[in-house]
């Protein structure tokens, strides 16, 4: 069981390992969107957005719902929003640590 959980986690984080996929998840955390909306908001080409959505769909991170000719994408699990917030906080902590280190270095010069 432990190995299965570790493999799931590794695959999950691997699926998150692309800046455009993270951007798509951030946009979907604000609400459901179709490919055109994601393309416009992310400033990326439609083919790139579609390719990254396919990876997120295959890993069951997002899902699509047919709406006429369009597919509207949603987060499969709203806890993704919390995960992104935690990642942002970790980034901020690292940034604060780096700034503190530079301040200490500046004081010794």
Q: Which two tokens stand for residue 22?
A: 């993270």
Average pLDDT, the chain: 91
What does the pLDDT read at residue 53? 97
**Alpha carbons 33 and 27: distance in angstroms, whole number:** 8
- 77: confidence class by pLDDT, cuts 50, 70, 90: very high
Place of tokens 């692309």: 18
- pTM summary value: 0.82
Range of weakest confidence among 23-27, 32-36, 104-108? 104-108
List Cβ neighbours of 18 (8 Å cut-off, separation of 6 or more).
52, 55
Q: b or e along 78-102 (b: 16 or more beta carbons within 10 Å of the residue's beta carbon)?
A: eebeeebeeeeeeeeeeeeeeeeee
State how far Cα 2 lies from the chain centre: 25
pLDDT at 98 over 90: no
- Which three-class secondary structure state does DSSP give residue 18? coil
**Alpha carbons 60 and 39: distance in angstroms, whole number:** 21
């Amino acid at each position: 069981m432990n190995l299965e959980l570790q493999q799931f986690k590794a695959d999950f984080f691997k699926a998150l390992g692309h800046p455009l996929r993270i951007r798509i998840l951030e946009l979907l955390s604000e609400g459901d969107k179709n490919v055109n909306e994601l393309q416009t908001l992310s400033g990326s080409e439609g083919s790139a957005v579609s390719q990254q959505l396919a990876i997120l769909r295959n890993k069951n991170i997002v899902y699509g719902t047919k709406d006429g000719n369009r597919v509207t994408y949603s987060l499969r699990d709203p806890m993704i929003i919390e995960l992104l917030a935690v990642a942002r906080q970790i980034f901020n902590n690292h940034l604060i640590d780096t700034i503190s280190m530079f301040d200490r270095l500046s004081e010794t010069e």
